Amino acid sequence: MSCDAENFLYVFDHTVKPVLLYASEIVGMFKPSLDDNLFEKVYKYLPLEKLNLSLCRYILSVNKKTSKLALYGELGRYPIYIDIVSSMLKYWTRLENDKTGDKLLSHALAENLLMIENNQNCWLSSIKNILKKFNMFNSNESELTQLHVSMKNGDIQRIIKSTKSKFESRWFQQLQTSEKLRTYRTFKNIFKFENYLVNICNENDKYNMSRYRTSNHRLQIELGRYTIPKTPVNDRTCKNCSSCEVEDEKHILLDCQKYFTIRQTYIDICYNKNSSKLNTDNKFIWLMSNEHANVCRNISRFLSLSIFYKTDSKATEKLSS
Ligand SMILES: [Zn+2]
C-alpha cells in the first residue's frame, strides 16, 4: 500500500464518508439523556465508526490490537458521530426554514412537536436533547416554543466545536490511565495529525514509526502483557543485552547495546547543543515529539534497522520469492 495520509483522509471524507452518512440526519436519532458521554455511548458500536477506525489502522498500517486512543490521536481524527450530530442539526434547520411548503415534511415536524408535548420519544426529541446538552435553550422561554426557532449556522458550528473539544478532553483523560499507552502519553499530549506521516518519505520507515509509537511491536514490554499469568512490568527485561533493563521503547531508542552502532549513525546526530545535555527521559520525549523532518526520518530509519529489521527481511524475502 502506498498513500499520502492527509490526501487519503481528504479523499475518504469527500467520497466515502458522504455515502456512509446517507440519511444519518434521520436515522441518527437516540433516546434522550444528558449523560456527558452520550454520543460515544449511543454511536460506539456503529458500523460507521468501525470503518472509521479501520481506515485509521489502514493508513497507519497497524494491527487490530492498536488502542483506539492512539488511532484517533496519531491522525487527529474525530469519531463519525460528530458528523451525525451536525447533519441532524442542519437538517432540522432546513426543515424549519423550508419555504417549498413540503406538506409531508411539515406535517411530520408538527407531529414530532405533538409527540414532544406528550412526552414521547421521537426524532425531534433527539434534537431537543442536543440543544439541552449544549445549553442552547433560553430559560425564560418554553423549550417547545424555542424548538420552532431555527438555529443560525454559527450556533451549529459552536455545538460541533464544543463536541470536538469534549471528545479531545475525554481522549486526554483516557490516555492518562491507559496501561498500553504508558509510553505514548509521555510524548503525545496534543490531539493533532502527526507530521511524521508527511515528513517520512520512505513508506516502510513511516509505518514502522507508527507501529513503534502505538506499541505495535514485539518488545518485551508488550509481549509481557499477553503471557499467562501477565508478566510484571519490571520483569519484562531486555534479552538482547546485559543491562537487565525493561525492554521498552525508550530502552531501544537510547540504551540497548545491541543497537549501539545504528544509534550512532541515526540517533546521536539528531541532537543539538541543548538537547544533547538532557537526561534520558527528556531526550526520549525530545526525539519523539520532534517534528523536524530529518529527525523523524532518522528515528524511523533506526527503527527499520533495529527492532523491525526481521520483519523487513521477511517482507523482502517474501517479495523476492
Ligand atoms: Zn537491551
**pLDDT tens, residue order, the chain (321 aa):** 456 899 999 999 999 999 999 998 888 777 766 677 777 777 777 888 999 999 999 999 999 999 999 999 999 999 999 999 999 998 888 888 776 777 888 888 889 888 988 988 888 888 888 888 887 777 666 676 666 666 676 788 888 999 999 999 999 999 999 989 999 999 998 999 999 999 999 999 999 999 999 999 999 999 999 999 999 999 999 999 999 999 999 999 999 999 999 999 999 999 998 999 999 999 999 999 999 999 999 999 999 999 998 654 454 444 443
What's the 176 CA to ligand 1 centre distance in angstroms? 27
Q: pLDDT of 244-268, one tens digit each?
A: 999 999 999 999 999 999 999 999 9
Query: What sign has the CA pseudo-torsion 280, 282, 288, 291?
Result: negative
Q: Are residues 244 and 142 in the same domain?
A: no
- Domains in the chain: how many in total? 2
Note the pLDDT of residue 141. 66
Q: Are residues 139 and 13 in the same domain?
A: yes
Last residue of a domain, one of 162, 193, 224: 193
Q: Are residues 226 and 310 in the same domain?
A: yes
Last residue of a domain, one of 170, 193, 216: 193
Q: Are residues 282 and 151 in the same domain?
A: no
Last residue of a domain, one of 130, 164, 193: 193
What's the 261 CA to ligand 1 centre distance in angstroms? 13
Contact 9, 59 (CB under 8 A): yes
Q: Are residues 167 and 118 in the same domain?
A: yes
Note the pLDDT of residue 140. 65
What's the 223 CA to ligand 1 centre distance in angstroms? 15
What's the 220 CA to ligand 1 centre distance in angstroms? 10
Q: Are residues 223 and 92 in the same domain?
A: no
What's the 252 CA to ligand 1 centre distance in angstroms? 7
Rounded to whole angstroms, the Cα distance separating 174 from 73 reads: 12
What's the 4 CA to ligand 1 centre distance in angstroms? 34
Note the pLDDT of residue 316. 44
Instruction: Enter the pTM of the model.
Output: 0.87
Q: Are residues 119 and 252 in the same domain?
A: no
Note the pLDDT of residue 99. 66
What's the 248 CA to ligand 1 centre distance in angstroms? 9
What's the 142 CA to ligand 1 centre distance in angstroms? 67
Amino acid occupying residue 16: V
Rounded to whole angstroms, the Cα distance separating 246 from 252 reads: 10
Domain limits for position 311: 199-320
What's the 202 CA to ligand 1 centre distance in angstroms? 26
Sole residue written with cell 496534543: 190
Note the pLDDT of residue 321. 38
Contact 257, 243 (CB under 8 A): yes
Among candidate residues 54, 66, 55, the one with its CA nearest the CA of residue 210: 66
What's the 47 CA to ligand 1 centre distance in angstroms? 42
What's the 74 CA to ligand 1 centre distance in angstroms? 27
Q: pLDDT of 274-285, one tens digit each?
A: 999 999 999 999
What's the 234 CA to ligand 1 centre distance in angstroms? 14
Q: Are residues 177 and 299 in the same domain?
A: no
Q: Please give the radius of gyration of the chain, using alpha carbons only, rounded to the nearest integer.
A: 25
List C-alpha distances in Å: 235 to 73, 158, 186, 221: 29, 49, 21, 9
What's the 271 CA to ligand 1 centre distance in angstroms? 22
